[in-house]
Amino acid sequence: MLKERIENYQWLEENRNSKLIVYVTGDRRNMETQIATDVLEYFSDHLDAIGKVEKISLFLYTRGGDTMAAWSLVNLIRQFCNQFEIIIPSKARSSGTIISLGGDNIIMTKQATLGPIDPSLNSPLNPQNPQIPNNPQARIPVSVESIQGFFDLAKNELKLNDEENLKDVLLNLSEKVHPLVLGNVYRSRTQIQMVARKLLQKQLGADQQEKIDKIVSFLCSDSGSHDYAIYRNEARDELGLSIEKPNDEQYQIIKAVFEDIREELKLLEPFNPNLELGPNATKDYSCRRVLLESIEGGTDVYVTEGSLIKNIQTINQQPGIPAITRTTIENQLNFEGWRHEEKIVISQSNV
């Protein structure tokens, strides 16, 4: 698997006349990961190994994550190249879209999608999740654009435009959502719009402010839902992003790389402790959850390892009533974090 994947990396580098970095955050059910600031150190190692070059291509698959980590990642990569392009085999949603806005061009397959960049805030001050009342740590994410939509509803649909009415709306909302969370919502909305504008100025040019404002408005609010999928044609023809369609040979290589990584990270197989254990009482497991890879820098992988232990408890009932058997599965974590694997060795016949 790895040998064939590296050969495809070489092909892409030669075809695109660039250096390739592959970054995949896994969305395997129950083992999901996101873009986070901890990856920046590992990116730095790969970039140092590559050195300053004319062009870097980032092969990206993600459902999103930390906004400022995405912003920092774009700025970090641009320190090492004059041209920066994104290759999207499937999903580059939310913060993945922010990274894509920072490229000079975006290569999208027919399956590839971008998405809205309106963030959701998570904090201990968020409202309690009513579906999990017994867990005080269970909180509901607060969508930045949902808060804005609430005020738009009050002003545009209910016509509550005078200062006193809007004050009442804010007071009622602050009883449901902590005022500090509301303040962070405003700050996050302003921040993400600023980040998107700065990135788009690099892609489209500083003189394209009207076009940039239209794109930012759509990605932040006009799309209507954070789940809205933006395919290649819409990204190019309606939003006006710098989108490139891969030719047939490029498409086959990009697809082969992604399918190989998807199989390695088991993205299509939910992590189910019951299925992992099967008839066994105990079983050790290891899940590869994030992959960062380049020819020069080798492989960095975020791994979760642990032991599943089946506990069977028998509860005796009153005489004449069968005992109840209760089975629980304990998940003991043994390791969770990044591991650097051996540097990728390229045989001379492949050079």
pLDDT in tens, 26-69: 999 999 999 999 999 999 999 999 999 999 999 999 998 888 89
How far, CA to CA in Å, does 292 sit from each of 34, 58, 60, 137, 262? 13, 10, 10, 31, 13
Q: What mean pLDDT comes out for the span 245-274?
A: 96
Work out the percent of the chain whose per-residue pLDDT is above 90: 55
Q: Specify the pTM.
A: 0.84
Length of the chain: 351
The answer to which of 15-24, 80-89, 145-154 has the lowest mean pLDDT is: 145-154
DSSP letter, residue 32: -
DSSP letter, residue 31: S
The answer to which of 219-223, 267-271, 287-291 has the lowest mean pLDDT is: 219-223
Q: What is the mean pLDDT of the chain?
A: 85
Neighbouring CB atoms inside 10 A of 256's CB total 16
* pLDDT score recorded for residue 349: 43
Pair 200, 212: CB distance under 8 Å: yes
Concatenate the DSSP letters of all residues of 103-170 into one string: SSEEEE-TT-BB-----EE--TTSPB-TT-TT-TT-B--EEHHHHHHHHHIIIIIS---SHHHHHHHH
Pair 292, 46: CB distance under 8 Å: yes
* Per-residue pLDDT tens digits for 312-332: 887 777 777 777 778 888 899
